[in-house]
Amino acid sequence: MIKTRFTETFGIRHPIAQGGMQWVGRAPLVAAVANAGGLGFLTALTQPSPDALRDEIARTRTLTGEKFGVNLTVFPTINAPDYNAYAQAIIDAGITIVETAGTPAVAEQWAMFKAAGIKIIHKCTSVRHALSAERKGVDAISIDGFECAGHPGEDDIPGLILIPAAADKVKIPMLASGGFGDGRGLVAALALGADGINMGTRFCATQEAPLHDAFKTAMVEQDERSTDLIFRTMHNTARVARNEVSQQVVALEKQGAAFEQVRDLVAGQRGKAGLESGDINAGIWSAGMVQGLINDVPTCKELIDRIIAEAEGIIDNRLAGMRK
């Protein structure tokens, strides 16, 4: 057993979290992570309404008696949802842990969560943003290195630098995110000053992840080079799996295209349809550089048990054996 400030603060068996992922953070995956001793997060905005989120929380509770949380990401979108209504649904459902991300506007939901006694883990891509969130009262930080899927920020700082840089200044518990998928990564994160790891892409390649097997096969077959950075020219960088659509977007950006010219290519519903049909070229889909470390599609329990066993073996044998 590996105990850290993260496991003790949040009452979780293992220092491993499954972060919120659009279209993927649903009950079967979250419950499987929780049952395996990790901390799983439903993705609030995957649900079409606050009432649907309440139903998904209830559904998750039929699958696990362990703790789990909900992710609420506040980003500028074409048709912004009622974030406060989603936050209230989380509160009404008795959730005790949330993962948040996005713009400073999320502070409005933080106030609601803190008043309800809910612990907040906030995702950041820079030390300065982590320190700002800490000052505003969040309970933990998830620090995302440049390797991560989704939005890595605009500073392009990889985890090997970002994690210890944050650990030097952030006083609250901290998860390392971006590029983690095995026991070696967990030990490295702990050595760099983190209190656990947050994984997204690796949990997508599990048996319980609610996406078509074609995507899981693609993640096994692809390597660490198989991602694209889109929206770079729009200063809203996103790392996605390399496919025909992502390559189109990159090419259009090189020609000076504005968002309106790529909007149809990157539409969320288009990507969702692909995840359900198995067409990996239907739209864009998030994946990190950790694809290069994914070699199988285990259950969540098999994955978490393996990570912990690997990490304990490295700590007890390889590292201990280096001391003279």
Task: Kindly list the averaged pLDDT for each block of 10 residues, start to end, along the chain of length 324.
Answer: 97 97 97 98 97 98 98 85 97 98 93 98 98 97 97 96 98 98 98 98 98 98 98 96 98 96 94 95 97 98 98 95 84
DSSP bridge pairs for 230: 238
- At residue 284, the pLDDT reads 97
- At residue 77, the pLDDT reads 72
DSSP-derived 3-state class of residue 117: coil
- At residue 146, the pLDDT reads 98
- At residue 75, the pLDDT reads 84
Taking each continuous run of H as one helix and of E as one strand, the counts in the chain are: 14, 10
Strand segments (E) across 47-181: 69-74, 97-102, 119-124, 140-144, 174-177
DSSP bridge pairs for 176: 143, 197
- At residue 56, the pLDDT reads 98
- At residue 79, the pLDDT reads 80
122 neighbors 133 (Cβ within 8 angstroms): yes
**Of 236, 81, 70, 76, residue with least CA distance to 151:** 236
Q: Which domains does the chain have, with CATH numbers?
A: 5-211+295-322 (3.20.20.70), 227-286 (no CATH)
Q: Directed axis angle between helix 183-191 and helix 300-313, to 10°?
A: 50
- At residue 139, the pLDDT reads 98
DSSP-derived 3-state class of residue 289: helix
| Cα atoms found within 13 Å of the Cα of residue 303, Cβ hemisphere only | 32
Which residue bears the tokens 């982590």? Answer: 130
